[in-house]
Amino acid sequence: MIYGRSDSTINRHGIRIGTAEIYRVVEELPEVLDSMVVDLEYLARPKKMEVTVRKLLLGAVLAQVANPDAMLTPSSMDFFAECAKAIAHHG
């Protein structure tokens, strides 16, 4: 997992990586059918919310797994909740 800017360029310690470069490498793996680079939400203190995002993507209810008051940008969780709905619909 690489965290970076919200556009299609990630800047890690001055090294710029385009998401297309990540896709090109990851999708060469025979076990990977498709991939997507997503931005992770951080708590108000510097801690990634991987567990919350994972639970949302597995179908958990947003109100049961996240406290909006503890997040820098609570609305970003809506994206993952919508992804979960799409996954369930197409799954």
Domain residue spans in the chain? 1-39, 41-91
Chain segment 21-52, per-residue pLDDT in tens: 888 888 898 998 877 766 665 666 666 677 78
Identify which of 30, 89, 81, 38 has the alpha carbon closest to the alpha carbon of residue 56: 81
Asked whether the CA dihedral 11, 13, 14, 18 is positive or negative, the reply is negative
Asked whether the CA dihedral 17, 19, 24, 30 is positive or negative, the reply is positive
pLDDT of residue 30: 92
Chain segment 51-67, per-residue pLDDT in tens: 788 888 888 888 888 88
pLDDT of residue 24: 86
Q: pLDDT category, 5, cuts 50, 70, 90? A: very low
SS3 15: strand
